[in-house]
Structure 1
Amino acid sequence: MTTPITVQVYSDVVCPWCFLGMRNLLDAWPRVGHDAMKVEWRPFILDPNIPAGGVDRQQYMLSKFGSKERIDAAHDRLREMGAQVGLAFDFDAIKVSPNTLDAHRLIHWAGRHGPERQSALVARLFRAYFQEGKDVGNRDVLVQCATDAGMDAAHARELLETDAHRKDVLEAVAAAQRMGITGVPCFILENRYVISGAQPAEVLEDAIRQVAALKERGKLDKDF
């Protein structure tokens, strides 16, 4: 594959399906070649009504699912799917359902440092929340994640203590809603082709190859 394509991924760092989708995309990436695509992470806030300090996760999940049995069933399914791709979810460790606006501001900033740095930060945030039970709405946690991803801690903290990129993130979220994105993960290839859900790496690889082939032939406006 010689023509790189852009893959925009709309996701939220507290979405377990997005964690699976990220894992599958990162598995597909080397199969098509690291120079074959450029990954851009775009914001989607699952629940903008969560206050800045977050809420108790157990109570929040009960309000969404209605019963502990339904929560456990959903978690069991996710654990099983995660195990199939090498991800271990630790839902019991999660105590807070956070507001993710600050996390998305940090991801937006990381995008200015290049796609690999941005992907590294996204991956670190997913691990922090789903495997370590950390509150990814807490600014100290966010600064540490940015540092772990190779970014400057002082700059990260300065950004979080201001409104930097807040408008950019909210406008991007609104744009996603106007495009009709109602669930994540959502992968958009070359601003034309949409793949919804945590699709297997093989599905993503095949789609990326097909879109790249169309781009090379100058036929992106045709269906594949």
Structure 2
Amino acid sequence: MTSSPAPISVDIVSDVVCPWCYIGKRRLEAALSQVSDLSVQVRWHPYQLDETIPLEGKDRRRYLLDKFGPDRIETIHDRIEQIGAEENIDFAFDKIEISPNTLDAHRLILWAKAEGKQTEMVERLFQAFFVNGEDLTKAETLISIAKEVGLEEDLVEQLLDTDSDVEKTRKQIAKARQIGVTGVPFFIIDGRFAVSGAEAAETLAAALRHAEETRPGDGMQAPPSPL
């Protein structure tokens, strides 16, 4: 009996409040459709654009004003909304009232991985924040999202009230920074090639194809992930 080659891994370092990460997810999906003959395994890894935000979050408008100034905010949002529309994302920045600390959201993504629903959780968190303007600092919001994705509601509620996997998540974020990740999204393909930023679907598809064509040996064992 012949064994199948190991799937090509795509490790994505991302933060759920990064609009370019949402765009990057859409472009990866388009890329995967272009190389549908390849076996690909997608894995998500945490990153925090601003880990100094308190757990209760900050007023979104004030946070952005302090960071960018009023004129630049509108320019940035207009550009992202235009690009998002091209990727079928209805960014609604006007609905977002709170800039959250994303540590708990990343814990949800970690717990969803155990259920094989990591990508589904990432999508739902992106949608909650950028499309619906939901408050990701509220436990009830995260519990509701977890239930929708198919996680056990009572267990998630209990875990969120503890420090379960907080240190693990922080160590994963630190590891991403140690290997040189300074911005997201950041894609590591087959443990060998890095693509930084929300590159076009064609670029990601070409990287996946190149990874397949240059795999060492018989490809039965995937290269270890640096994360």
2:74 to 72, 87, 90: 72
In the alignment, the residues of structure 2 paired with residue 159 and residue 208 of structure 1 have an alpha-carbon distance, to the nearest angstrom, of: 37
| Residues 1:24 and 2:24 are matched in the alignment | no
In the alignment, the residues of structure 1 paired with residue 79 and residue 20 of structure 2 have an alpha-carbon distance, to the nearest angstrom, of: 11
The aligned residue for residue 55 of structure 1 is: 58
Cα root mean square deviation, aligned? 1.9
Which 5+ residue runs of structure 1 have no aligned equivalent? none
SS in 2 for 1:162: coil
Answer whether contact 1:90 1:131 (CA < 8 A) is retained. yes
The aligned residue for residue 137 of structure 2 is: 137
In the alignment, the residues of structure 2 paired with residue 36 and residue 216 of structure 1 have an alpha-carbon distance, to the nearest angstrom, of: 16
The aligned residue for residue 111 of structure 1 is: 113
Segments of 4+ in structure 1 off by > 3 A?
A: 216-221
In the alignment, the residues of structure 1 paired with residue 37 and residue 26 of structure 2 have an alpha-carbon distance, to the nearest angstrom, of: 15
In the alignment, the residues of structure 2 paired with residue 51 and residue 189 of structure 1 have an alpha-carbon distance, to the nearest angstrom, of: 33
| Residues 1:36 and 2:39 are matched in the alignment | yes
Residue 216 of structure 1: how far off its partner (Å): 6.3
Answer whether contact 2:5 2:218 (CA < 8 A) is retained. no
In the alignment, the residues of structure 2 paired with residue 3 and residue 208 of structure 1 have an alpha-carbon distance, to the nearest angstrom, of: 14
Deviation string, structure 1 residues 112-136 (Cα, Å, up to 9, x no partner): 122xx10000000000000000112
Answer whether contact 2:15 2:47 (CA < 8 A) is retained. yes
| Residues 1:11 and 2:7 are matched in the alignment | no
In the alignment, the residues of structure 1 paired with residue 216 and residue 89 of structure 2 have an alpha-carbon distance, to the nearest angstrom, of: 35
Change (3 A) 1:179 1:87: same
**Which sits farther off after the overlay, 51-60 or 160-169?**
160-169
In the alignment, the residues of structure 2 paired with residue 95 and residue 144 of structure 1 have an alpha-carbon distance, to the nearest angstrom, of: 19
Residue 3 of structure 1: how far off its partner (Å): 4.8
Answer whether contact 2:61 2:97 (CA < 8 A) is retained. yes
**Which sits farther off after the overlay, 23-32 or 124-133?**
23-32
Residue 27 of structure 1: how far off its partner (Å): 2.1
Identity of aligned residues (%): 41
In the alignment, the residues of structure 2 paired with residue 27 and residue 151 of structure 1 have an alpha-carbon distance, to the nearest angstrom, of: 27
2:84 to 82, 97, 100: 82
In the alignment, the residues of structure 2 paired with residue 58 and residue 34 of structure 1 have an alpha-carbon distance, to the nearest angstrom, of: 45
Change (3 A) 1:46 1:32: same
SS in 1 for 2:174: helix
Answer whether contact 2:56 2:137 (CA < 8 A) is retained. yes
Which 5+ residue runs of structure 2 have no aligned equivalent? none
Answer whether contact 1:3 1:215 (CA < 8 A) is retained. no
SS in 2 for 1:215: coil
How many correspondences in the alignment?
A: 218
Answer whether contact 1:9 1:188 (CA < 8 A) is retained. yes
Answer whether contact 1:185 1:197 (CA < 8 A) is retained. yes
The alignment's TM-score, normalised by the length of structure 2, stands at 0.90
Residue 210 of structure 1: how far off its partner (Å): 1.0
